[in-house]
Each structure stands twice: as structure tokens, then as C-alpha cells.
Amino acid sequence: MYIKGGGKIICFEPHWISNMASYLLDGEKQSEFIQLGVLQKLFESDTQRNGKDGNIGMKIPIYLSELGVKNIECRVSDKVNFLDSNMHHNDKNDLYQSLKEEGIAGDPGDKQQFVERLIARGLTYDNALAQYEAALRFFKAFHLHSFLVYAPNMKITFGEIEC
């Protein structure tokens, strides 16, 4: 790998917990379908268990600094998905399908399997069951005619390479 001095580096990385905090489904209490405390514990457990760090976006500036990158700056993507129940049907359907394909309000599937997978990832039975119920609530509440506002919040970090 060759790194050219005076060049730029840019990283686009997720921060799952801020992503999960950035939903609004009209008519629903967010805390009933997004349980931030349980999710944060789950994400941290996943990082320890398999090295997959969905919250890495917030750590990138530190990593780049440790690698000698200079003039580091950070931004958050300003993309917000707005499913407007009043929009034209074709546009609304396209956005709805895109959000579903992204995994928004996905069907949690079989309760026992869902709970067992979460327990294997470090949650207690009670937390896993509550997470299943929250996911099921979101799945049932979100439909084509919903108002949904969702901001993925990708973290954008950039700086300059000095060799």
C-alpha cells in the first residue's frame, strides 16, 4: 500500500446507537419500538464477541490521529428519509420499499429463535424478550401510509496525510 504525503483521507462509518435514536414514527412512542439502552449493550457485546463495531464512526477521529493524520475534521451526514403519507403513490412506494430493504421495521420472525439469538449475543432473557416485543411492535406499526422520519447519521471523518 502506498500513501502519498499531502493527500487526503476520508471515512464514512456508522454509529449504530445514534442511528437508532433517529427515528420518528408518527403516532408511536419511540421508546416502545427502539430500546436504546438494550441496543447499546447489545452493540458493545457484539464488538467484544466478534470485533464487529457498529459504533466505530465515533472512534475514527481518534484512530486517524493515532496514525498521524493531521487537520482532522468530522461531520454527520444530513440525509433524512421522510416517508410522507401524502406524497405521490409511486414515490411513496419506492421509498417505503427501499426502507424495508434496508431493514427498517423488519419482521422479527419466530419469537423463540429471535430471543435465543439475542441471548447468544449477550442479552438476558428478559431483555431479549422485550427487544422482540419492541421489534414486533415496530414491524406492525410501520406501513406504506405511515409518516416516518429517519436519519441514518453516518459519521464522516477526514484529514490530511503528512509523510
Please, what are the domains in the chain?
Answer: 8-160 (1.10.150.350)
Q: How far apart are alpha carbons 139 and 133 in whole angstroms?
A: 10
Alpha helices for 12-79 (secondary structure H): 16-20, 36-50, 60-66
Cell of 59: 472512534
Q: Residue 75 in contact with residue 156, Cβ under 8 Å? A: yes
- Categorize the per-residue pLDDT at 2 as very low, low, confident or very high, splitting at 50, 70 and 90: low
Which SS3 state, helix, strand or coil, does residue 157 take?
A: strand
Query: What is the percentage of the chain residues whose pLDDT exceeds 90?
Result: 79
CA angle 61/65/68 to nearest 5° reads 145
Q: In what order do the strands lie in the sheet with 8-13?
A: 8-13, 155-160, 70-76
pLDDT in tens, 114-152: 999 999 999 999 999 999 999 999 999 999 999 999 998
Q: How far apart are alpha carbons 33 and 139 in whole angstroms?
A: 9
Cβ neighbours around 157 below 10 Å, total? 22
- The closest of 98, 94, 84, 100 to 139, measured between CA atoms, is 100
Mean pLDDT of the region 87-105? 95
Q: Supply the pLDDT for residue 127.
A: 95
Q: Supply the pLDDT for residue 6.
A: 79
pLDDT in tens, 16-68: 899 899 999 999 999 999 999 999 999 999 999 998 898 999 999 999 999 99
Q: Residue 33 in contact with residue 148, Cβ under 8 Å? A: no
Q: Supply the pLDDT for residue 162.
A: 82
